[in-house]
């Protein structure tokens, strides 16, 4: 796996500004400063189609477009289908995890989470940094 | 009412009832009346007596239900208690969010200063900041939990509104007592929730601890796909 480019653009998607700020700050502590935000799946999808990102970190429970629907749209898009996609969500039932996996999620973090978990998943999805 | 009333006559009454926009399905009433008539046997006089008793009991039941609904203050529940409760809960979410962002402002200021201190001190600041960020995730979780409660309240509000509309006069406030007609829902009344699709059914928000999978269990489940 190639070295991780810490300047790669990362899109974080959540309808709670608090969570956006937490993830942004934790990413900053890990050295990832090129972070953009969206507050639902449809806004995120537009940003993904307008600009090249290296990773999506998305909540699930959002309106009008959920994180799961965003994931499905990403995997159905020929230009975006290989994009690493981490779900960070309070949805912690097995059927949610299975649905996300079947839709092509790269990894899955359940809220509340800690910084070590986030870092571990980034390493799993992107490689060591 | 007489048991000798022909079904055609009953239907005429029901058509009239329907035109008055009463919130009762006429077919339901036909079914009720026919079942009552089918349940009685014997000569005409005994049918009259039995039917009269059944209808009287039904009327008493409806009156009792209206009295009970009125006594529990269903209108006040719908128009005051539930909206007030939802408003209070929303205020809790807003206050918690505001406080959380104040905390963020403070810790981000401290983090910015860490660049000017010794590396050991900077590490201590970074670790403390991380713990604060992790702890502040409570606001996201509590916000989602409260949103679930508000949605439940909206459903209760809708059900109470439907009950008030169905029973009409006797339980509605004076200004609303236009009979048991199907009036349009007030602007503040929540619409009937749309039927969820398959993806919507997966959006349940935070689970109670005993129902939630841990990160380790989720990791094991994900690994089982490999």
Which residues in A lie closer than 8 A to residue B130 (C-beta atoms)?
26, 29, 115
To the nearest whole percent, how much of chain A has pLDDT over 90?
94
Q: Are A95 and B213 a contacting pair at CB < 8 A?
A: no
Distance of CA B14 to the CA centre of its chain: 31
Is residue A4 in a domain? no
Taking the C-alpha atoms of residue A17 and residue A27, their distance in angstroms, rounded to an integer, is: 15
Sorting pLDDT into bands at 50, 70 and 90, what band is B44? low
pLDDT at B185 over 60: no
Q: What's the average model confidence in pLDDT over B101-117?
A: 93
pLDDT at B79: 83
pLDDT at A41 over 90: yes
Cβ atoms of B110 and B164 closer than 8 Å: no
pLDDT at B28: 67
Q: What's the average model confidence in pLDDT over A91-115?
A: 95
Q: Check CB contact of A113 with chain B, cutoff 8 Å.
A: yes
Q: Are A90 and B134 a contacting pair at CB < 8 A?
A: no
> ipTM of this predicted complex?
0.88
Residue with tokens 């619409």: B191
What is the span of the domain harbouring residue A65? 10-126
Residue with tokens 């239900």: B65
**Disruptive mutation site among B209, B212, B222 for chain A (greatest number of A CBs within 10 Å):** B222
Q: What's the average model confidence in pLDDT over B178-192?
A: 46
Nearest residue on chain B to A16, judged by CA atoms?
A: B140
Distance of CA B81 to the CA centre of its chain: 13
Q: Are B97 and A90 a contacting pair at CB < 8 A?
A: no
Cβ atoms of A82 and A52 closer than 8 Å: no
User: Could you tell me the CATH number of the domain that includes residue A47?
Assistant: 3.40.50.2300
Mean pLDDT of all residues in chain A? 95
Is residue A67 in a domain? yes
Is residue A85 in a domain? yes
Which residues in A lie closer than 8 A to residue B222 (C-beta atoms)?
97, 101, 107-108
* Residue B176 CB partners (closer than 8 Å, separation 6+): B75, B183
- What are the beta bridge partners of residue A58? A13, A87
Structure tokens at A21: 């700020």
Closest-CA distance, B56 to chain A, in angstroms, reads 51
Q: How many domains does chain A have?
A: 1
Q: Check CB contact of A33 with chain B, cutoff 8 Å.
A: no
**Disruptive mutation site among A16, A71, A87, A96 for chain B (greatest number of B CBs within 10 Å):** A16
Is residue A3 in a domain? no
């Amino acid at each position: 796996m190639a070295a991780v480019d810490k300047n790669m653009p990362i899109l974080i998607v959540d309808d709670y500004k608090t969570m956006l700020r937490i993830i942004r700050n934790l990413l900053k502590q890990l050295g990832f400063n090129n972070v953009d935000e969206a507050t639902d799946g449809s806004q995120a999808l537009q940003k993904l189609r307008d600009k090249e990102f290296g990773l999506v970190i998305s909540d699930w429970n959002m309106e009008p477009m959920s994180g799961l629907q965003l994931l499905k749209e990403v995997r159905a898009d020929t230009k975006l289908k290989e994009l690493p996609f981490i779900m960070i969500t309070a949805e912690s039932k097995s059927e949610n995890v299975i649905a996300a996996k079947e839709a092509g999620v790269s990894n899955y973090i359940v809220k509340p989470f800690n910084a070590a978990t986030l870092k571990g998943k980034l390493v799993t999805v992107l490689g060591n940094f | 009412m007489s048991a000798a009333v022909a079904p055609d006559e009953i239907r005429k009454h029901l058509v009239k009832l329907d035109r008055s926009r009463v919130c009762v399905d006429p077919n339901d009433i036909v079914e009720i009346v026919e079942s009552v008539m089918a349940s009685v046997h014997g000569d005409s006089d005994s049918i009259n007596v039995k039917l009269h008793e059944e209808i009287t009991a039904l009327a008493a039941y409806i009156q009792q239900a209206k009295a009970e609904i009125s006594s529990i203050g269903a209108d006040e529940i719908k128009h005051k208690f539930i909206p007030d409760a939802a408003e209070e809960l929303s205020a809790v979410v807003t206050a918690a969010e505001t406080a959380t962002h104040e905390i963020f402002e403070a810790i981000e200021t401290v983090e910015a200063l860490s660049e000017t201190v010794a590396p050991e001190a900077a590490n201590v600041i970074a670790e403390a900041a991380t713990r604060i960020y992790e702890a502040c995730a409570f606001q996201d979780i509590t916000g989602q939990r409260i949103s679930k409660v508000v949605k439940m309240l909206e459903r209760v509000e809708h059900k109470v509104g439907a009950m008030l509309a169905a029973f009409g006069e006797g339980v509605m406030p004076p200004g609303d007592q236009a009979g048991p007609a199907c009036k349009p829902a007030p602007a503040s009344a929540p619409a009937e929730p749309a039927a969820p699709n398959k993806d919507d059914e997966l959006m349940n928000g935070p689970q109670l601890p005993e129902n939630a999978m841990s990160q380790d269990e989720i990791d094991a489940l994900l690994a089982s796909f490999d």
